[in-house]
Amino acid sequence: MSRKHSVLVIDDEASIRELLAEALNDKYHVLTAANGVEGLAHIQKHDISMVICDLEMPKMNGFVFLDKIREQKPTIPVVVLSGHDMSEPALKAIEKGAVNFIDKPLDIVFLESIVQKSIERKQLLDYKRELFEHLKEIQYFDIPNDESYFPAVIEKIISLIADMKLDAYTIGSLRSAVLEALRNAYIWGNKKNRSKRIYINTEFEKGKLCIKIRDEGGGFNPNPLLEQLRKNPKKVDSRGLLIMMLNADDIIYNETGNEVCIIKILGAIFE
């Protein structure tokens, strides 16, 4: 028999705590607290899967609690209780990291749905964090200076992070950055010379993906272009560099200028 997930309910009204506990007890192990201070104590002692928290409470209100839990247990999802649909306090709580809000009076069916989705979200984040902490993979390969090889190279790089279950936007931006770097190596570095090669080195460790793409050309000084791009992208005629900058967290060239390192911080998905 699988272990029940633990749900922490924090509300200064005993009737609300009892109502929520009764509604969720069949599927979850429910813990209750009357304020944020008591709630944090539970989080330190128990393996909490998600939190349902009121905003207006004595000793420590819901907003302070959100700040504290983001510091101590950032993967635990928090759903706040709100007195009105789309109220200003509820929106402020979302800005502070709450994953959703539930209006009073409580809709039990909606509540159960939110709890289940929140727990599934935590499981996914925990899984990704564990992989980020322990996975280190380095791959090196080279290809002929031929555009027809580019799709296979990109798919090979994407396969390194397949277990991360990244969203389509992150994968798409990574594809765009790598493709432009390969094109630059093919056209500007190797001058479309089919006898030359392109060298790819990828390293993935603790949520940071570094992709180095090197050509056999003489290189160039990218610093003036990079500086201009950061100041005013519209005034620089360098489509490839611009696309790389827009789709990567950073790009770094070697001293010669014939190797670019595309850096993607995949750990940013937790923010």
198 and 215 Cβ atoms separated by less than 8 Å: yes
Q: Which long-range contacts (CB under 8 A, 24 or more apart) does 30-39 make?
A: 30/6, 31/6, 31/7, 32/8, 33/8, 33/9, 34/10, 35/10, 35/59, 35/60, 36/10, 36/60, 36/61, 36/62, 36/64, 36/65, 36/68, 38/10, 39/8, 39/10, 39/65
What is the C-alpha separation between 114 and 139, in angstroms, rounded?
A: 41
Residue 7, H or E segment = strand 6-10
3-state secondary structure of 249: coil
Evaluated on CA atoms 229, 233, 235, 237, the torsion sign reads positive
**What are the tokens at 42?**
């539970």
Between strands 6-10 and 50-54, the pairing is parallel
Peptide bond between residue 105 and the one before it cis (omega within 30 degrees of 0): yes
Q: Which of 3, 6, 5, 30 is nearest to 19 (CA)?
A: 30
Contact at 8 Å (CB) between 204 and 136?
yes
Cα 175 to Cα 262: distance, rounded to the nearest angstrom: 11
What pLDDT was estimated at residue 21? 92
Q: Give the pLDDT confidence score for residue 234 in this predicted structure.
A: 64
What pLDDT score does 266 carry?
A: 76
Residue segments in the chain with a per-residue pLDDT below the cut of 50: 1, 268-271
Looking at residue 164, its amino acid is: M
Q: Given this model, what pLDDT does residue 270 score?
A: 45
Cα separation of 129 and 195, whole Å?
Answer: 43
Give the pLDDT score at 271. Answer: 47
| pLDDT for position 235 | 63
Q: Give the CATH architecture of domain 6-130.
A: 3-Layer(aba) Sandwich (3.40)
Q: Using CA atoms, how far apart are residues 116 and 138, in angstroms rounded to an integer?
A: 37
Domain ranges (residues) in the chain: 6-130, 135-270
Token pair listed for 95 = 């800005």
Q: Could you tell me the fold of the domain covering 135-270?
A: Heat Shock Protein 90 (3.30.565)
pTM here is 0.53
- Residue 79, both tokens: 């759903």
